[in-house]
Amino acid sequence: MAALSRRGFVALGAASTTTALLAPTARAAGDGAGALGSGAVPPQYRIVPGSTPPPPRQMMPYGVNSRESLAATTMATAPNHYATGFPTVQSGSPWQDVRALQYLLYNQGISTNWEGSFGASTSAACSVFQGSHGLPRTGVGDPATLAKLTPNVGYGANSYLTYAVQTLLRKHGYHFEDYYYAPKLSTNYGAVTDSYVQAFQTGHAIGAANYVGYYTWRTLFAARTRGPLYPLMQYGTGSAQWTNCGPTSAVMILLAKGLWPRNWYWNTSLRTNSVTDFRYWAMGLPNTPERNAMGSEIPELTTGFAKYGIRGVHNGISDTVMLTKQGVMSIAGGDAYRLPWKTYVSGPASHWIAVVGWDGTYFLVMDPIAQSSASIVHRMTEQQLRWYAGSNPGWETNPRMSPPNYNSLALY
């Protein structure tokens, strides 16, 4: 594939846009809650054969591995934070936590009346489970109860544990069912659930895995999320697809900040609408063949973010390194050919990536030209990030472009 300057690329003729799925990996002993104990369930709490949970509750718009591992993050540096333990699900808990608890109980053969908030039915079901597993009958979803209810569940599984995972992901901005075009809830732990889980894990400083284990379960229940991480590909985003690294990175940043980009439908396959809107409406670029062959630079990106009330400050990669560790997101320019993963370029090419966080060891990056970016939040070392930013092909002959190492936009 020939690479063009000015952040332009020529498409690979036979390039595949599908993402390879990881096969489930062996799980280390002791990870997660382990096997659940057995116990008799009183008849009044048993699931009636053929019964199913109710339709998912609608959610109003909001402002928004192998073994799991935790990064050496601190509360001052991570974009989102992992939880240090399970919470107690009880009266006053978020409805997603209550519904997830009900799914977990249902998975154990214990039914509730699917009340929308924590009430007598859910409390009684908790007591039944606790009594049959040697736990104190507190009648609430306390940490010990949640730990017993949450075994590992991963890619390829088909159970109500998946419903619980998806319901908790909704709380963190990874929407299922909440909007017309959003993915549907399913008992199948498939590609969409896997993609969302791994993005959630990376964004909360948990090692990405193709399953939900103890650390992820407790973080899904207990942690707060600034905004979801939706890795998006610029491929397939209209006639300017190979120069849309800037607008695509911008949409990912807006979502990570908890904002709702215009024409975003909570479905990555429909990303074109929001990406092209940022290009033509927010940045104000003309939709012409000549302009579509050219990328966006610092002034256009600054204009686009201003439409969303975000102030952009032009600076360099050293500022990106420092500010990311302080919780400031950036768009960083550099050479796509220097990125340490497989991309759609085969030579030097000017490019933008979204730098959304720091987990204490790695910088968290979403790259629109990565061939696997539909499902991966990448992790880069500082050395890798500086190497990428140390080149900006074409800047010597294009006055619109910024020089290497001074080609970042911090976003406040």
State the DSSP H helix or E strand holding residue 79, giving kind and residue range, or none if neither: none
The C-alpha atoms of residue 64 and residue 231 are separated, in whole angstroms, by: 17
207 or 366, greater pLDDT = 366
pLDDT at 329 over 90: yes
**Percent residues over pLDDT 70 in the chain:** 80
Question: In this structure, are residues 200 and 223 in contact, taking their beta carbons and an 8 Å threshold?
Answer: no
Tokens of 148: 């017993």
Q: Are 222 and 83 in contact (CB under 8 A)?
A: yes
Grouping H, G, I as helix, E, B as strand and the rest as coil, residue 334 is: strand
For 180-231, how does the pLDDT look when each residue is reduced to its tens digit (9 = 90+)? 899 999 999 999 999 999 999 999 989 899 999 999 999 999 988 889 999 9
- The pLDDT assigned to 72 comes to 53
Gyration radius from the chain CA atoms? 23
- The confidence score (pLDDT) of residue 37 equals 30
* pLDDT in the model for residue 32: 26
Share of the chain above pLDDT 90, in %: 74
The pLDDT of residue 65: 33
Residue 319: predicted pLDDT: 98
User: Cα–Cα distance between 196 and 208 in angstroms, integer?
Assistant: 10
Q: Which fold has domain 229-411?
A: Cathepsin B; Chain A (3.90.70)
Confidence band for 373, pLDDT divided at 50, 70 and 90: low
Specify the domain boundaries for CATH 1.10.101.10 within the chain.
56-222
Residue-wise pLDDT for 340-355, tens only, equals: 998 999 999 999 999 9
pLDDT digits (tens, 9 = 90+) for 240-266: 999 999 999 999 999 999 999 999 999
Give the residue from 290, 280, 297 showing the smallest Cα distance to 400: 297
pLDDT at site 55: 40
Name which residue leads in pLDDT, 388 or 68.
Answer: 388
More confident site: 26 or 394:
394
Residue 354: per-residue pLDDT: 98
User: 7 burial class (0-12, 13-18, 19+ CB within 10 angstroms)?
Assistant: buried
Q: What's the pLDDT score for residue 156?
A: 94
The verdict on domain 56-222 having CATH code 1.10.101.10 is yes
pLDDT of res. 71: 63
Residue intervals in the chain for CATH 3.90.70.30:
229-411
Interatomic CA distance for residues 75 and 318, integer angstroms: 22
Q: Are 5 and 349 in contact (CB under 8 A)?
A: yes
CA-to-CA dists, residue 293 to 8, 242, 296, angstroms: 6, 8, 10
pLDDT in tens, 118-155: 999 999 999 999 999 999 999 999 999 999 999 999 99
What does the pLDDT read at residue 78? Answer: 59
pLDDT of residue 410: 98
pLDDT in tens, 47-97: 444 444 444 333 322 222 334 666 655 444 556 778 889 999 999 999 999
The answer for residues whose C-beta is within 8 angstroms of residue 169's C-beta and 6 or more apart is 176, 193, 196, 197, 200, 220
> 10-14: which pairs have CB atoms within 8 A and are 24 or more residues apart?
10/242, 11/235, 11/241, 11/242, 11/344, 12/344
118 Rama sector, left if φ>0, alpha if ψ -120 to 50, beta otherwise: beta
Residue 69: its pLDDT value, please?
67
The overall average pLDDT reported for the chain is: 84
Among 71-75, 269-273, 287-291, whose mean pLDDT is lowest? 71-75
Per-residue pLDDT, 29: 26
The answer to pTM > 0.85 is: no
